[in-house]
Structure 1
Amino acid sequence: MIGTAPATAPAAGAALYATELLRGRAAFDALAPEWNALLARGPCDLPFARHEWLSAWLDAFAPEAQPLVVTARDAAGRLAGAAPFLRERRLGVRRLVAPANDHSCRFEWALGPDAVGAAAALWAHLRDRVGWDLLLLRDLPRDGPTGTLVPALAAADGHLTGRWESMRSPWIALGGAAVEERLSAKFRANLRRRLKKLSELGAVSVRRAGAGEEARVMLGEFLALEAAGWKGERGTAIARDPRTRRFYERLAEVAAARGWLALRALDLDGRPVAMHFGLVYGGAYYLPKPTYDEGLGPCSPGQLLFREVVAECAARGLAALDFLGPDMPWKRDWEPAHRPHDWVYVYRPGLAGRTIYTMKHCVKPLAKEVLRWWR
């Protein structure tokens, strides 16, 4: 956990925009066309920041919530920035939190070409015209506009800020030398041996679907395969939680309609033994959820499917393959780069904010360090 004391940073651009606080689901839904058009012009055109993604999340995980959205518009009335929140109160603390959880992958405000000016305007409205004690944004890419600008703007205005690294998400740059040529000879040899071992059990093939009845069937197969493993036993599989299932089914529906959905399967004698719930968006392949048949672990069907997907992405001319989620040993086999993500906390100046900041970012980390030393 990293705590940051007040600093100075420019907040230029706030005066260029008119801001407004919108309340309720109907107001949020009405922004959809403008929201997505804004993202397409800005620095963070990601599927996770799109209106459809947030709408699916609200439908699944917060159907009764009344979201708040701070908007910034230019002199012509065009949307220049939008920051969505949910309002919470815990132990008397008024919290504004990002509408996100572990299934959100990453989070960004909707910002256009003038990300600096729009973020400054959104922050100024939050600072001066909205009541809160703690602002919490989770899983922000550290080098993204929201994760870069918001803490600096808040600190410049005397607000205490904290930053906690949530994950280092792996990704692979495509283009140039083939990905496999960059990997260790040992790992390449392992892939060949595992494919040979799997092929001895039956016919190995790859299926792909992105829309229509085939995609619907493959989504059902994906949910069943994921639930058949340890996630199903622990009750954390998508199919075991109606809210989570609703979220992924809605995402699949939206992504299929817009041409982003990339369901992939490695089959053994016609049955899936590894699958991807993937997305192709903006020249990149994103992998929100993979799964595989754990009974075939020695054959590494998940890695064999990933090998096929890497080759497909390169052949299609995609620029990157993003694993999403935290770093894991199986991902490291592909020698990826890593993108740090943070939870960012902003506290109102005053006794309450300083007390919460001190407990979370000073006392708690110190207590953990003392406990580690004592052990």
Structure 2
Amino acid sequence: MNGDANPTRAVPSGLGAADRMPAVGNASTGRRGRSMVSRAAKGTLAARVLASMKPGELRWTVEPASCLLHKAQHWDELNHHAGELPFLRTAFLLPLLASFGNGHERVAWGFDAAGQLQAAAVLTRASAWHWHTFQPSQLPLGAWLHRPGAELRPCLRSLFRALPGFTLSLGLTQLDPAFTPRVEGPAMSGVDYVDTAWLAVEGDWSSYWESRGKNLKSNLRKIRNRLESEGLALRFSTVTAPSDMARAMEDYVRLEASGWKAEQGTAIDVSNGQSAFYARMLQNFAATGQAELWCLHIGDDLVAMDINLLQGRTLVMLKTAYDTAFKQYSPAYLLKQEGFEREFAQGRTSRIEFYGKVLEWHTRWTDRRRQLYHLNVDRWDWPRRWHQRLKS
């Protein structure tokens, strides 16, 4: 990390010599002596600053987001401790920044007094006085990480002093209370975002399927009988090889182009940068065996696809698409039935996360949900209290 951003910070072990806090040395004469005096002064100041840190405060340094290219291991190691969500790995964030960043994003690194990395964020400036987490629509949660046990209030309040310019407010967007418990208080307020659904993969498939609604089970049974009577075979397959991801995304783009997303202009398209992002991102994850596209064929036709990422025992469903020419067969439902039954049988996952707003089709598969939220943090509490008094 660039020491010029904050010469008084502590850094974790494992960074290069150029990134380390300068050591205190004895003063000498001449140019070399002046350099040693400067290093000694900085080292003394660093020690004073660290000693004056209040409990829970962090020493932050802020760098251009391009630093993630050569400091990916530090971000990913923190993510491992902070929930291990696949879309918050640099394998996802780097192609996302390349496709949808404006070049002005910053990465903030927060270290405790012992030099251990406790928190990190990719931030973008919303105005002269406001920063918020990097949040393009392709990213399910805001680009924020912190170790369990890190106190959010002092951690964030100490970030204000490190951000460029004079910052009055900071926004952490689309937080998951499963990994960032909701904390409110002076100068901190949470804002409800959306409910998100998730499926617990526990027990056996037959018990789970029996627990689902009558309409879902009946409709899919009728569709399967209809396909059989028409001589149309169902086939489930997966795409996992890095070399197959670009072609698979071409198939996915074709499926989305047939539906309502194309009509609304939100479908993945080669002209809006999304296709290139997903192809690069999926190649990254496929290289480590953590990308899996589910495909459903009816006869010789590919009719539905799901884009999934795997991390630990969690499968995250990022996107789904189907060919509207086959909508009478409910291909998206058939695909999920095939995929979910496979997950129950294999036992490799314990939960399937949908993320995003709960839709009606989510409720067909699960009854579990939790509320995502935004967190707004102000530099001071008095403007909010003063505004509330004026309103009362």
TM-score interval for Structure 1 and Structure 2 normalised by the shorter chain: 0.7 to 0.9
- 1:192 equivalent to 2:226? Answer no
Q: Percent same amino acid at aligned positions? A: 22
- Secondary structure of the residue that 1:331 maps to in structure 2? helix
The answer to whether the 8 Å contact 1:170/1:327 transfers is: yes
* CA distance, structure 2, for counterparts of residue 174 and residue 239 of structure 1: 33
The TM-score, its normalising length taken from structure 2, stands at 0.77
The answer to whether the 8 Å contact 1:54/1:99 transfers is: no
Q: How does 1:172-251 map to 2 (within 5 A)?
A: 172-178=199-205, 179-199=208-228, 200=230, 202-239=232-269, 241-251=271-281
The answer to whether the 8 Å contact 2:197/2:353 transfers is: yes
* CA distance, structure 2, for counterparts of residue 14 and residue 240 of structure 1: 50
Larger Rg: 1 or 2?
2
Q: 1:321 aligns with which of 314, 339, 352?
A: 352
Letter in 2 for 1:25: A
The answer to whether the 8 Å contact 1:173/1:320 transfers is: yes
- Secondary structure of the residue that 1:253 maps to in structure 2? helix
The answer to whether the 8 Å contact 1:22/1:28 transfers is: no
Q: 1:79 aligns with which of 104, 112, 117?
A: 117
Deviations 1:249-293 (A, max 9, x none): 222121111211111110122221111011121112111100111
- 1:261 equivalent to 2:291? Answer yes
Deviations 1:320-354 (A, max 9, x none): 11122111111111133002101222233377666
Aligned alpha-carbon RMSD (Å): 2.8
- Secondary structure of the residue that 1:190 maps to in structure 2? helix
Distance 1:31 1:353, change over 3 A: farther
* CA distance, structure 2, for counterparts of residue 224 and residue 62 of structure 1: 26
The answer to whether the 8 Å contact 1:227/1:240 transfers is: no
2:362 equivalent in structure 1: 331
The TM-score, its normalising length taken from structure 1, stands at 0.80
2:303 equivalent in structure 1: 273
Q: How does 1:98-137 map to 2 (within 5 A)?
A: 98-107=133-142, 109-112=144-147, 114-117=148-151, 119=152, 122-130=155-163, 131-137=166-172
The answer to whether the 8 Å contact 2:68/2:75 transfers is: no
2:197 equivalent in structure 1: 170
* CA distance, structure 2, for counterparts of residue 36 and residue 74 of structure 1: 21
Distance 1:201 1:101, change over 3 A: farther
Distance 1:212 1:249, change over 3 A: closer
* CA distance, structure 2, for counterparts of residue 305 and residue 262 of structure 1: 13
Distance 1:231 1:170, change over 3 A: same
1:23 equivalent in structure 2: 63
- 1:88 equivalent to 2:126? Answer yes
- Secondary structure of the residue that 1:186 maps to in structure 2? helix
Structure 1 segments unaligned to the other structure (5+ residues): 1-12, 364-375
The answer to whether the 8 Å contact 1:265/1:276 transfers is: yes
Task: For residue 294 of structure 1, report the CA deviation from its aligned partner.
Answer: 1.7
- 1:58 equivalent to 2:87? Answer no
Letter in 2 for 1:115: G
The answer to whether the 8 Å contact 1:288/1:325 transfers is: no
- 1:141 equivalent to 2:176? Answer yes
* CA distance, structure 2, for counterparts of residue 342 and residue 293 of structure 1: 33
Task: For residue 190 of structure 1, report the CA deviation from its aligned partner.
Answer: 1.3
Distance 1:162 1:122, change over 3 A: closer
Deviations 1:153-192 (A, max 9, x none): xx3xx31x33332211111101214221221233212111
Q: Which has the higher contact order (CA 8 A, sep 6+)?
A: 1
Letter in 2 for 1:298: Q
The answer to whether the 8 Å contact 2:107/2:120 transfers is: no
Letter in 2 for 1:281: Q
Distance 1:201 1:233, change over 3 A: farther
How many corresponding residue pairs?
334
Mean CA deviation greater in 257-266 or 198-207: 198-207
The answer to whether the 8 Å contact 1:28/1:67 transfers is: no
- 1:294 equivalent to 2:324? Answer yes
Task: For residue 107 of structure 1, report the CA deviation from its aligned partner.
Answer: 2.9
* CA distance, structure 1, for counterparts of residue 283 and residue 72 of structure 2: 17
- Secondary structure of the residue that 2:226 maps to in structure 1? helix
Structure 2 segments unaligned to the other structure (5+ residues): 1-52
